[in-house]
A and B are shown apart, each in its own frame.
Chain A
């Protein structure tokens, strides 16, 4: 199918000028969403903008549109943008929500090749996608000297929330000062496990976190988590009351 978008005009767009050309393009893209052939054609137009010498503003526009319309065919061009600090964020904007496994694979591969400045963001996108295949690579980063990367890795293992990621989270070697973050991450992981019908694993995490070895806010949250797992009302109330005492005993 021939080009649908006015790629030349879009590629020249810069902030501050009229964006009517972008609005017209967005209209065309929206009307193509339900038609596979037309969607492929507009996506190809967007990829032409991404791979050419279009302005940064035009490439931003293309990434925003691919957030909605993009598919596996767009992944190689977007993966290329992950290598550049200036374009990596918008590449993730398009890739993070794509359902295709190719998007996850591109993000995972970028962990080894992208500049360190964008790695935390890539980990965050893998986390939001719950990329199980990235657990091993992410787990290696919990001890990264860049605190933002290490913290992102901990949170990602929690959000992915598979038995494997939980094991990695519990056993992770941590960068200095990140121990409290692991407690929060474990709470989050337990919550996800419970939501995903793995109550036994969630219960074990909560029980461990409810001991006196942990700060009160963690213990209280763990007790609340245990309460949520209970079918028995009396047991639920016991946990709730214990949590309340922990958080309120110093209340004014």
Chain B
């Protein structure tokens, strides 16, 4: 696997092979290479392992890291986080797993990317930071497992898709529901016309909550707050702005709506076969943005997206996708497909169909089969090796979150948004068009 660095091409495996030759030739020294290092104990030899660096090792990133560690054909060698406490903790987990002290730690993701020995990145940073390391990773030929939602803005999402496709790297979005049996089966039922023509899809996502105004606080020692803000507008530090809570602030994310749309709208698109297109109009119905306090993302939301005839093979007359917080649905969270001959509702750990026995029916061999994965992380590693497409490629992730971004724009402007999914442009609305992207702070850019 080659890594481009300062304009030349380096081969990590070639380097290791040259090192190995040097060792083999040094017969004067009684050097014994452990069998484990050569893969003789059933493990994978180092030169054949997928070498991973992790960017962002807070709670989500550490969870992802722990999912990679058990794989014998993977080696995590470095972590990067702007919070020293996070990166030290993650490094300790890695070192304990490998029984050494080799894990390198970085504050700046660019230093990690330019190590020159990586094959892949695991990226789990706040949404406002998604685009920049992803594009840099692609430019350096690195494959990426990266957290959802794909982007902060539609403009950034498109830039990410283009970069990943330009450099031909493998991409897995952390929308892991695709790797779970019941979501897969639900989508296959819909795809195979088991509920007839689909006219409506309902998506239920969590309800948000507001908080109070927060005081400015001193930045904790070891936390590089300026870098945490990165491309976002400068703002005073306060604890509830950062780490997990970035999700509820529109400078960094889109609230519960975008956080979960990347799961349940993704499933809606997977079932409907609309992963590479989008709606033509988004209509806001109900919304509530906190009028005070630090958090400003929508806590209550309801909008619908209109898909034209032909957008989905299952909806010859077009269909409507409703997106709302769970208090507004009759099923809570999840994705519900409503067709002329039945319904399929699916969520984490549960599902329901009408007719009831529909769920038990199998898809025959000559039916439409969706790609299959039962381990999202292994699917990524296997695709890195094979060059095949992952279960959640980047373009579908972009198309899923685009629906949520358009919903947020429509609710913020309190008006319908017409959308051209071919050109990915808003029709005849200059003010809404501006909201497709935002200027980045300082020198950061996509």
Using a CB–CB cutoff of 8 Å, the interface residues on chain A facing chain B are 15-20, 23, 30, 33, 60, 64, 67-69, 89-90, 92-93, 95-99, 120-121, 124-125, 127-128, 148, 152, 155, 177, 179-180, 183-184, 187-188, 191, 215-218, 220-221, 224-225, 243-244, 247-248, 250-252
Contacts and interface: CB of A to CB of B under 8 A. Distances in A.
A33 to B, nearest CB: 6
B438 A93 contact: yes
Nearest to A223: B168
Contact of B434 (A97, A183, A187): A97
A50 to B, nearest CB: 15
A92 B168 contact: no
B213 A19 contact: yes
A15 B434 contact: no
Interface stretch (B1-9, B24-32, B96-104): B1-9
A95 B440 CA distance: 12
Contact of B7 (A17, A215, A221): A215
Nearest to A240: B168
B243 interface: no
Interface residues on B, range: 35 or more
B442 A121 contact: yes
Interface in B402-446: 412-414, 430-431, 433-435, 437-445
A220 B2 CA distance: 12
Majority secondary structure, A binding face: helix
Task: Tell me which of A20, A127, A188, A217 has the highest count of chain B C-beta atoms within 10 A of its own C-beta.
Answer: A217
Given A19-B213, A121-B443, A184 B50 contact: no
B215 A216 contact: no
B266 to A, nearest CB: 26
Majority secondary structure, B binding face: loop
B269 to A, nearest CB: 24
Nearest to A15: B236
Contacts, number: 135
Task: Tell me which of A20, A98, A244, A247 has the highest count of chain B C-beta atoms within 10 A of its own C-beta.
Answer: A247
Contact of B166 (A16, A125, A221): A221
B162 interface: yes
Nearest to A97: B434
B139 interface: yes
Contacts of B238: 16
Given A18-B292, A121-B439, A124-B444, 18 more contacts: A16-B236, A18-B213, A23-B292, A67-B434, A68-B431, A97-B438, A97-B439, A121-B441, A124-B443, A180-B4, A188-B166, A191-B162, A191-B166, A216-B9, A217-B2, A220-B167, A250-B14, A251-B387
Nearest to B166: A221
A155 B13 CA distance: 32
15 contacts: A18-B292, A97-B437, A97-B438, A127-B445, A128-B445, A179-B7, A187-B166, A215-B7, A216-B2, A216-B4, A217-B141, A221-B166, A244-B387, A252-B1, A252-B385
Interface in B1-58: 1-2, 4, 6-9, 11, 13-14, 47-50
Contacts of A247: 2, 141, 168, 387
B340 to A, nearest CB: 38
A3 B4 CA distance: 58
B330 interface: no
Given A30-B413, A217-B4, A250-B2, A120 B387 contact: no
B216 interface: yes
